[in-house]
């Protein structure tokens, strides 16, 4: 999978070279390129923003540097219409299902905006060349799209076959098919500062352990995420 990220703070995306995603790039499972939006400006100040038409607070990102950056990316795309993901609090809420969906794409492009957003005409232009998806991490406001892009790229990248060494660890995790949160986990020692590992986990009875874990998942989901619990009941 190829991933391009456009940002005025390319250093933010440095973390993509670490850990699992860093290894996946070395193994050529992922190819991630980060581009500085200011490289697509021509004035002395490398200006990417201007005041909003109609007035109002803050600055708006100019459309032309975006088009130039994205055109260069389109030239090397392995596909006809790559997916352009624009992190924004006004987007559709990102989810594990969205991550799965995007993990099957050959080419994802992230456009990390700042300030009050990008000139709306950039989106109209982009629709001619990309499958555009406006995505929000959740109902809160970040300073820009970079942190959201990092989160989405990690969630998507780890679903690309081969990136996570043991694919079984993808099956049992929270927000996978069953719509339940993960069960609690313990490791050695069996007694720690007066807190003990539940006896059942030391019993060696695998059927009982599996049933206990399912109960724990249900209890946690009911308590912490009544929204997920209700949705699950409705689907049953």
Query: 139: annotated binding-site residue?
Result: yes
Question: Toward ligand ADE, which CB reaches closer, 65 or 87?
Answer: 87
Size of interface with ligand ADE, in residues (CB under 6 A): 11
SS3 state of residue 209: helix
* H helix or E strand, kind and range, residue 200: none
In angstroms, the CA 145 to CA 5 distance is 10
Q: What are φ and ψ of residue 209, in 5° steps?
A: -65, -45
Which one of 65, 117, 145, 157 is in contact with ligand ADE (CB under 6 A)?
145
d(CA 121, CA 64): 10
In this structure, are residues 227 and 139 in contact, taking their beta carbons and an 8 Å threshold?
no
Instruction: List strand residue ranges (DSSP E) for 106-225, in order.
Output: 107-111, 131-136, 191-192, 195-196
Print the binding letters for residues 55-94 with ligand ADE: x by CB under 6 A, - otherwise.
--------------------------------xxx-----
* Closer CB to ligand ADE, 87 or 157, in the complex: 87
Q: Of residues 30, 148, 163, 180, which one binds ligand ADE by CB under 6 A?
A: 148
Based on the shown chain and the rule CB under 6 A, indicate whether residue 140 belongs to the binding site for ligand ADE. yes
State the binding site for S-adenosyl-L-methionine.
113, 137-142
Give the interface with ligand ADE as residue ranges (CB under 6 A).
87-89, 136-138, 140-142, 145, 148
């Amino acid at each position: 999978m190829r991933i391009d990220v456009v940002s005025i703070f390319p250093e933010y995306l440095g973390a993509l070279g670490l850990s699992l995603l860093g290894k996946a790039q070395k193994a050529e499972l992922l190819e991630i390129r980060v581009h500085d939006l200011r490289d697509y400006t021509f004035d002395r100040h490398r200006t990417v923003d201007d005041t909003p038409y109609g007035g109002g607070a803050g600055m708006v990102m100019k459309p032309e540097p975006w088009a130039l950056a994205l055109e260069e990316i389109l030239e090397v795309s392995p596909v006809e219409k790559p997916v352009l993901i624009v992190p924004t609090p006004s987007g559709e809420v990102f989810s594990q299902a969205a991550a799965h969906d995007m993990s099957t794409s050959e080419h994802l492009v992230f456009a990390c905006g700042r300030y009050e957003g990008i000139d709306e005409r950039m989106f109209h232009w982009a629709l001619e060349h990309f499958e555009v998806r406006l995505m929000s991490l959740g109902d809160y406001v970040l300073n820009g799209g970079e942190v959201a892009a990092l989160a989405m790229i990690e969630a998507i990248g780890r679903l690309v076959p081969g990136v996570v060494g043991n694919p079984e660890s993808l099956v049992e995790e929270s927000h996978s098919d069953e719509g339940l949160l993960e069960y609690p986990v313990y490791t050695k020692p069996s007694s720690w500062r007066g807190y003990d590992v539940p006896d059942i986990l030391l019993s060696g009875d695998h059927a009982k352990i599996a049933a206990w874990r399912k109960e724990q998942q249900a209890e946690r989901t009911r308590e912490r995420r009544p929204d997920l619990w209700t949705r699950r009941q409705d689907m049953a």
